[in-house]
Structure 1
């Protein structure tokens, strides 16, 4: 065995699968019996590792998986037959055949896409499952809401298409409740022309950031759950945001070097920080090449021996410099918490993201492949 495979990890993320399983149970308990759970696992399950996460979701009995593209969908299909898999992004024409090969559900927004897939189904002697996306104000995917009733009628007249769902996406669920209501009204109005849709289709408008459709008198019967299942409530004021989930992700590195420097010394590239006193600095074995954002330069902090230590100067590709003058017990090789708990202190994914002037979704997806994922807290499958 090589030295590289036996040396301590320089930078790693711990994924608590036991906490993940508890989160799933709590979310499922909060959903009405008629509300189906669409588990969003795109971008390698938000950086947590798709195989390990998807296996637990399959065991928990979620109703459907949602991914960004056919490559992600194929990975899930190889893990289990029969699971509904919704591809959220548009298909390239060269990818259409994968819908048949892997038994996927496509998102459609235009008549052209529908005609393409209908021809594919006819050529293969099968019906292609689709969800129609309706653009109610996001300005991204989806048929414009005023044109949706006509396209719904056209889809249902195509012999090789099987309409299985209709959905939309809110642009400002976290910040503009008034416009979210406008979008919701547009969506419901687009569905009015097709009575009884909710009885046979998945009707979903909300994700875990903006869910407000848990009442039994609404036509919605599915919800897309992404960030919440990983223990990060996107917006606590939402209905599911009040579910007591636990963070399952923590981010760690080590001290690679400790040295003393005199006051007045400039730190890191572009000399953006100057020491105001004689200082003891630690060089950490992680940088933006691992997922420590450049925006944390001179503003973020880490936990060492349960003490907060500020980041000094510009974060570099492979190292980050922190001040350990007030943490005299720090030693080379010591673990450092970038996200997570250390004693009584904690740096949450939300705090880390706010300090980096970004959002938790990007934070989790930006932890790079060279960061080893370590899975803890659950039975072996």
Structure 2
């Protein structure tokens, strides 16, 4: 029994994960589907989730960095892998050898590839560096701007012997808000820009330098559902696979529409129960003053474990099917909760931080809202050292 082994643990529902994947696969029909497992699979466990998606039939896997990609290769996962984030030039050859595709989002990065290929043409010619060109269409983050695209294409043309241009992609700034006109107009502007820039890439490489047409992709979870035009050749589904809502709203509009199932739940136990009198203070800096004689419980979870400190005096957990308020300041390694209204509560009783117990349910979205953050940050912040139990 997990309560007898761990003080705190995360449970991952494998059947829910597979179900959610199937929902998106059915929804996207014949499009290529990239299962996004970046950032430790949104806190759910990189290798284990990737294996489930591969078994379920994903076409691609998306990761944050080269280390996540190499971890998947070491786990004998052979599916195409795209690294979204910045890769140090010193690791280009490693990516090439592992047949891992890199995001290249700047003219400087293309020039660096050219410089390395001139120094070590044998390595790069033997195993071409696979890349996806990232275009900045309005997020103004990573990606090549339209002003620098022509110059970038000139460098691309000279790299035909050492790189494989597999894809061209971009990223929306506000796809989850597309129902509002301002954001819908901006998304349309981004798609117009992407299509224009993609065509420029193609025309710059005629005759086809790379003997294939690069995959176009722009849609993440929200756009896959809300912006049919953006689906192009491949969709990148992340947060939705884990049964969470890309809007981060606690009423779960997206999740309910697609009937997605939550995958992650977070559990702990009560370490100690004590009676504390009215007007006593609880927490560092006398954070909260009790308004009644109270029964308090200590839970061995704090912000080091990933529970947000911003939920101090406002968060809730579930004990014996009842919601219990977080009292006082959340500490590094523990928190205090009010169990006054929970009958027969005792040390060792299970505490649900995210998830369901009896008729009560605390979604990741609701916990995030109380902590004034988003579900993405909440689940990816759960300490990777906490055990993940796949059920």
**TM-score, normalising length from structure 2?**
0.88
Q: In structure 2, do the counterparts of structure 1 residues 36 and 213 end up closer, same or farther at CA, with 3 Å as the change threshold?
A: farther
Aligned mates of 2:226, 2:272 — CA distance in 1: 52
Residue in 2 aligned with 1:170?
A: 172
Helix, strand or coil: the match of 1:45?
Answer: helix
1:276 Cα deviation after fit: 0.5
Q: What is the deviation of 1:209?
A: 2.8
Please state if 1:274 is matched with 2:275.
no
- Any residues of structure 2 matched to 1:101-120 within 5 Å, and which? 101-118=97-114, 119-120=116-117
Alignment partner of 2:55: what SS?
helix
The 1:174/1:312 distance shift into structure 2, 3 A limit, reads: same
| Aligned residue runs from structure 1 range 214-233, under 5 A | 215=228, 220-233=232-245
Partner of 2:36: 40
Residues 52 and 82 of structure 1: CA distance in aligned 2, closer, same or farther (over 3 Å): closer
Cα 1:273–1:218 shift into 2, 3 Å: closer
Aligned residues: 368
2:387 corresponds to which residue?
Answer: 372
**Distance in 1 between the 2:131 and 2:266 partners?**
38
2:57 aligned with 1:61? yes
Residue number in structure 2 paired with 1:379: none
C-alpha RMSD of matched pairs (Å): 2.3
Aligned partner of 1:182 among 176, 182, 189: 189
Choose the corresponding residue for 1:26, options 17, 23, 28: 23
Q: Which segments of 5 or more consecutive residues in structure 1 lack a partner in the other structure? A: 377-381
For residues 115-134 of structure 1, the aligned pairs below 5 Å read 115-118=111-114, 119-120=116-117, 122-124=121-123, 125-126=125-126, 127-134=128-135
Give the conservation status (yes or no) of the 8 Å contact 1:149–1:190: no
Contact 1:280 1:324 in 2 (8 A): yes
Cα deviation for residue 303 of structure 1 reads 0.5
Write the deviation string for residues 184-229 of structure 1: whole angstroms up to 9, x where unpaired. 22111212333699x82221111103335774x7671111111111
* Residue in structure 1 matching 2:215, options 194, 197, 202: 202
Of 267, 274, 288, which aligns to 2:303?
Answer: 288
1:373 deviates by: 1.0
Deviation at 1:149, TM superposition (A): 4.6
Q: Which moved more, 1:55-64 or 1:204-213?
A: 204-213
The alignment status of 1:211 with 2:224, answered yes or no, reads: yes
Q: Is the alpha carbon distance of 1:305 and 1:181 closer, same or farther for their aligned partners in structure 2, counting shifts above 3 Å?
A: same
Q: Deviations over 1:117-154 (max 9, x none)?
A: 34437331232211110011112111003433552354
Per-residue deviation, 1:273: 0.7
Shift of 1:157: 4.3
Partners of 1:149 and 1:224 lie apart in 2 by 27
Alignment CA distance shift 1:346-1:219 (3 Å): closer
CA contact (8 A) 1:256 1:285 kept: yes
Q: Tell whether the 8 Å contact from 1:156 to 1:162 is kept in structure 2 after alignment.
A: no
Offset, 1:171: 1.9
Q: CA deviation at 1:260?
A: 0.7
Q: TM-score, normalised by structure 1?
A: 0.90
Distance 1:6 1:340 in 2: 16
- Cα pair 2:103 2:132 within 8 Å, conserved: yes
Q: Secondary structure at the match of 2:388?
A: strand
1:140 aligns with 141
Q: Give the secondary structure class of the aligned counterpart of 1:210.
A: helix
Q: Which runs of 5+ in 2 are unaligned?
A: 178-182
Matches within 5 A, 1:241-280: 242-280=257-295
Structure 2 contact 111–155 (Cα < 8 Å) conserved: no
Question: Which shifted more, 13-22 or 104-113?
Answer: 104-113
Q: Give the structure with the larger helix fraction.
A: 2
> Any idea what SS the aligned residue of 1:339 has?
strand
Whether contact under 8 Å (2:245, 2:365) holds in the other structure is: no
Superposed CA deviations along residues 49-102 of structure 1, whole A, max 9, x for unmatched, are: 112111111111111111111111101112235421111112212112211221
Shift of 1:319: 1.2
Q: Distance in 1 between matches of 2:233 and 2:222?
A: 17
